[in-house]
Amino acid sequence: MSRELLGHTARKRFGQNFLADTQVIERIVRAIAPQADDAMVEIGPGLGALTHALLTHLRELFAVELDRDLAARLRVETLIGNKLRLFEANALKFDFRQLAPGRALRVVGNLPYNISTPLIFHLLEQADIIADMHFMLQKEVVERMAAAPGDAAYGRLSVMVQVHCQVESLFTVPPSAFTPAPKVESAIVRLQPYPERPWPAFDHRHLQALVTQAFGQRRKTLRNALRESIDARGLEDLGIDPGARPETLSVADYVRLAGSTETI
């Protein structure tokens, strides 16, 4: 058993798979390129493998950890010292704006598969205070985030992430890099919120509801999938084919649609 796992049993209810491969950790840190004065926050530091690597470059690191036992271990970890500012909390409900007022956050984490999508949506609602995000996720989730219109993986997650961020899939990570090993491949993704959005302002929750409605019936044409929000004539007036399917529309198309429909 690796040093990082001594004295702790991974908990399935928290989706815990601890990154233990030092070469992968070093590669992640190189991709993040932390600078000493960065306002960086790690979500789910776990046993601290990535935490230690980041702190060799940082003056301080914020961290949000839900597991009380892991939080207690991190507080007395001698290699961390007083450089870690630890919050014992549920990241899904955490207000990240409180961490470093006036500074843009850099967010990192090996996210549990079972909460990754809702957690990213929670962070996107606070995207205006985030400089970038680097996450370890299930490979399939990263593929969906980065997918282009027309791709089989393109859907609700693609639109809602890309409307806020540039998405870059960096590299894959095999199950053998974790203890216990997950049953799927993972991948590292970089999300960079746009300094200035390339489309007009929009209501986040309305757009999300519209996109959910469209992709909830992705085999149907837009005429049928969105019939409760906009009719065929309205789609044509926007230059959108009512006979097209939801996965063929670009992010800009969905922003235009959201701006032309009433709150769902």
Domain residue extents for the chain: 3-193, 204-259
What 3-state DSSP class applies to 85? strand
**Amino acid, single-letter form, for residue 1:** M
For position 262, what pLDDT does the model report? 65
**Predicted local confidence at residue 263, as pLDDT:** 53
Q: Which residues of 154-187 are buried (b: 16+ CB within 10 A; e: fewer)?
A: bbbbbbbbbbbbebbbeeebeeebbbeeeeeebb
Res 1: pLDDT: 34
Whole-angstrom CA distances from 258 to 55, 172, 187, 194 are: 43, 34, 31, 19
Which residue in 70, 52, 69 sits closest to 61, CA to CA? Answer: 52
Q: What is the pLDDT of residue 17?
A: 77
Radius of gyration of the chain (CA): 20
Residues 107-164: tens digit of each pLDDT: 999 988 888 999 999 999 999 999 999 999 999 999 999 999 999 999 999 999 999 9
| Amino acid 4: pLDDT | 41
DSSP per residue, 196-235: S-SS----HHHHHHHHHHHHTTTTS-HHHHTTTT--HHHH
Residue with tokens 């390129």: 33
**pTM of this prediction?**
0.88
State which residues of the chain have pLDDT below 70.
1-16, 78-79, 81, 262-264
Element (H, E) at 173: strand 165-173
CATH superfamily of 204-259: rRNA adenine dimethylase, C-terminal domain (1.10.8.100)
The whole-angstrom separation of Cα 249 and Cα 17 is: 36
Of 47, 45, 43, 50, nearest to 29 by C-alpha is 50
Query: Is the dihedral angle over the CA atoms 194, 196, 199, 202 positive or is it negative?
Result: positive
Residue of 148, 138, 172 whose CA lies nearest to 31: 172
Question: For the domain 3-193, what is the CATH code?
Answer: 3.40.50.150
pLDDT at 76: 83
